[in-house]
Amino acid sequence: MALRTYAIGDIHGHLDKLRQVHAWIADDRRHQGGDDVVVHIGDLVDRGPDSAGVVEYLRAGVVGGQPWVVLKGNHDRLMCWYLEQPSRVDPRLFEGLSWLHPRLGGLATLASYGVDDAELEDAARHGLARAAVPDAHVAFLAGLDTVYCTDGVIFVHAGIRPGVALDQQAEQDLVWIREPFLSDTRDHGRLVIHGHTVVEEVTHYGNRINIDTGAGFGGPLAVIVIEGREAWRLSASGREALLPPGGR
């Protein structure tokens, strides 16, 4: 029997939604039995109301021995870089943007840690942020892996660069890529499960499945089940087959 793997999309600070999908997983697990792993696809933080709660929930679960894998998203890396050196700019951001820009959601994350004065000077905000974010959270985010693999599946935040061996992939692509990955129809050797690019509903493209349904923008938090290369959407009502184009 293939190892069962659950995959959860971009969380973006929504602890309530995360607890809900974990409850669905627990219910499915009771019906199915056997061993499983739960993969969180990254972007734990930003935009939502409780990034601090999400990080602590996942950190505590991993430390407590839960069969959870937590991957790094671009927003998680932006938070780490800000805490290390606030002047560091990710080359993938448009000019003039930073983690603290409203489009990115860093201010909402800091507010969840109690740093919520919009009038603070940059240096003062950074000092308060370093004091407010527990060292255990900083270490947890900094230590996140970028890829998790099973025999037939790759789990990654944004995607992979087509045609590049897995052990040669650049972290910048793994947490940020859109094109040429999204339009590439070739078989990547393994089915790729990813988020990062918002879709209206979980979509199976044949060579990849996108599970970012926009939790950070008011949408639902998606969770799927993978057994071998078969996949199902998971909800309060149970499983629904997730089929590639052509339905096979």
- Residue 144: give its domain's CATH number: 3.60.21.10
For residues 43 and 195, the answer to whether their CB atoms sit within 8 Å is yes
Rounded Cα–Cα distance for residues 123 and 166 (Å)? 39
Mean pLDDT along residues 16-34: 95
pLDDT digits (tens, 9 = 90+) for 47-104: 999 999 999 999 999 999 999 999 999 999 999 999 999 989 899 998 889 999 999 9
Phi, psi at residue 81, to the nearest 5°? -65, -40
pLDDT at 236 over 60: yes
pLDDT at 247 over 80: no
Strands 36-40 and 147-149: unpaired
pLDDT at 246 over 80: no
Both structure tokens of 63: 């430390």
If one counts every other C-beta atom within 10 angstroms of the C-beta of residue 161, the result is 16
Rounded Cα–Cα distance for residues 132 and 128 (Å)? 6
Q: Does 26 reside within a domain?
A: yes
Number of compact structural domains in the chain: 1
If one counts every other C-beta atom within 10 angstroms of the C-beta of residue 171, the result is 13
Beta sheet of 191-194, edge-to-edge order: 147-149, 153-156, 191-194, 208-210, 203-204
pLDDT at 1 over 60: no
Both structure tokens of 135: 């060292």
Q: Which residues have a Cβ under 8 Å from the Cβ of 221 and sit 6 or more positions away?
A: 8, 9, 10, 11, 14, 17, 18, 20, 21, 213, 215
**CA-CA-CA-CA torsion sign (24, 30, 34, 35):** positive
Q: Which of 234, 236, 243, 238 is nearest to 9 (CA)?
A: 234
Q: In this predicted structure, what is the pLDDT of residue 2?
A: 66
Radius of gyration, CA atoms only, the chain: 18
Domain region containing 228:
4-241
Both structure tokens of 120: 């603070």
* pLDDT over 90 percentage in the chain: 90
Q: Does 56 reside within a domain?
A: yes
pLDDT digits (tens, 9 = 90+) for 116-175: 987 788 899 999 999 999 999 999 999 999 999 998 999 999 999 999 999 999 999 999
Q: Does 246 reside within a domain?
A: no
HSE-CB for 20 with a 13 A CA cutoff: 15
pTM: 0.97
| 33 confidence band (pLDDT: 50, 70, 90) | confident
Q: Does 16 reside within a domain?
A: yes
Q: Does 77 reside within a domain?
A: yes
Q: Does 176 reside within a domain?
A: yes
Mean pLDDT along residues 19-25: 98
- What is the identity of the amino acid at 97? L
Q: Does 95 reside within a domain?
A: yes
Q: In the chain, where does DSSP find H-type helix? A: 15-32, 51-63, 74-84, 106-112, 122-132, 135-142, 171-176
Q: Does 80 reside within a domain?
A: yes
